[in-house]
């Protein structure tokens, strides 16, 4: 075992012991469940025998409030639902949201990915829970260990963890309907206003009619992908200019200052993490118009 692995195991057991001490101190009703090492919500729920809706899926996200302030949030949702990043961002009036880097998330949680507790033991980590999880008598979660879980009274959990309770899950997914990009976008008069054509996992597929110059900007935390569907797009970069025609693609690396310029009749497709603002670190941006 390496020094890193040994330290990680020590931290996990320390977090586990701290949790048990906290629950016992408050007289919480819980039981431990030993199982094969597993941290994926669906798979570990099968091992424990609980309904997926009773599983506390714990996700640490990073919310940027302007250019200088970063907040970390521990979002806890039922295992059968997906976290709505846009809803979390809106709760804080954030300008950007993304999943926290793995190293940061594990440091704040005190345990490795797949074992994050629905409790916050770090003042830098705000706990928010979706109310649907608290509708059950018991909730289930990995207890800061891959090989052990807890079944905990939902009532006791709410009293001890004292989370902020907010609706932060997406509506249940339904099969997406077929769309013709040209038919949809021919009816959109605005320029440089991205429209969300589809959502794939935690990404938005956006299309925009563009013409003339857009503001010079950068995206500090995400690359920016451009596919030209029609017309021509010029990207002015610090070290040169990239010209794109129909069916040509280019990715602007994160942190790179760039200025898009388009000729009349240009239409582009972008693939971006949900919640990305089109002006990057600028002001008065939009994450896009969601098409019905």
What pLDDT band is residue 4 in, cutting at 50, 70 and 90?
very low
Q: Are residues 57 and 140 in the same domain?
A: yes
Number of separate domains in the chain = 2
Per-residue pLDDT reduced to its tens digit, 68-97? 899 999 999 999 998 888 899 999 999 888
Q: Are residues 151 and 190 in the same domain?
A: no
CATH of the domain at 222: 2.60.120.10
Last residue of a domain, one of 165, 196, 216: 165
* Interval 134-144 mean pLDDT: 97
Average pLDDT across the chain, whole number: 88
Q: Looking at per-residue confidence, does 204 or 36 come out higher?
A: 36
Per-residue pLDDT reduced to its tens digit, 208-265? 999 999 989 888 778 899 999 999 999 999 999 999 999 999 999 989 999 999 999 9
What pLDDT band is residue 271 in, cutting at 50, 70 and 90?
confident
C-alpha 244/C-alpha 126 separation (Å) is 43
Does the pLDDT at position 5 exceed 60?
A: no
Per-residue pLDDT reduced to its tens digit, 153-164? 999 999 999 999
Tokens of 100: 């926290």
CATH of the domain at 55: 3.90.960.10
Tokens of 251: 């990715």
Per-residue pLDDT reduced to its tens digit, 8-41? 444 557 899 999 999 999 999 999 999 999 999 9
220: domain range? 181-290
Tokens of 165: 């309770």
| Rg of the chain on CA atoms, in Å | 22
The structure's pTM equals: 0.64
Question: Which is nearest to 109 in space by CA: 95, 98, 93, 125?
Answer: 125
C-alpha 192/C-alpha 282 separation (Å) is 15
Residue 170 lies in a domain: no
């Amino acid at each position: 075992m390496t020094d890193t692995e040994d330290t990680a195991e020590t931290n996990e057991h320390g977090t586990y012991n701290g949790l048990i001490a906290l629950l016992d101190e408050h007289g919480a009703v819980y039981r431990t469940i030993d199982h094969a090492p597993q941290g994926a919500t669906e798979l570990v729920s099968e091992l424990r025998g609980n309904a997926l809706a009773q599983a506390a899926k714990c996700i640490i996200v990073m919310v940027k409030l302007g250019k200088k302030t970063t907040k970390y949030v521990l979002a806890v949702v039922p295992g059968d639902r997906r976290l709505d990043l846009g809803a979390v961002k809106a709760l804080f009036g954030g300008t950007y949201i993304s999943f926290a880097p793995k190293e940061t998330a594990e440091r704040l949680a005190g345990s490795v990915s797949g074992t994050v507790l629905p409790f916050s033991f770090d003042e830098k980590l705000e706990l928010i829970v979706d109310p649907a999880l608290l509708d059950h008598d018991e909730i289930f979660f990995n207890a800061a260990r891959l090989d052990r879980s807890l079944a905990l009274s939902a009532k006791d959990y709410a009293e001890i963890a004292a989370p902020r309770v907010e609706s932060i899950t997406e509506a249940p997914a339904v099969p997406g309907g077929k769309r013709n990009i040209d038919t949809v976008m021919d009816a959109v008069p605005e320029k440089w206003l991205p429209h969300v054509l589809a959502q794939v996992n935690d990404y938005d597929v956006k299309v925009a009619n563009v013409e003339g110059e857009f503001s010079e900007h950068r995206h500090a935390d995400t690359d920016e992908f451009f596919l030209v569907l029609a017309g021509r797009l010029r990207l002015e970069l610090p070290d040169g200019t990239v010209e794109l025609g129909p069916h040509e693609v280019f990715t602007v690396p994160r942190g790179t200052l760039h200025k898009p310029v388009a000729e009349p009749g240009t239409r582009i497709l972008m693939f971006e993490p949900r919640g990305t603002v089109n002006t990057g670190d600028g002001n008065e941006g939009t994450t896009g118009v969601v098409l019905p």
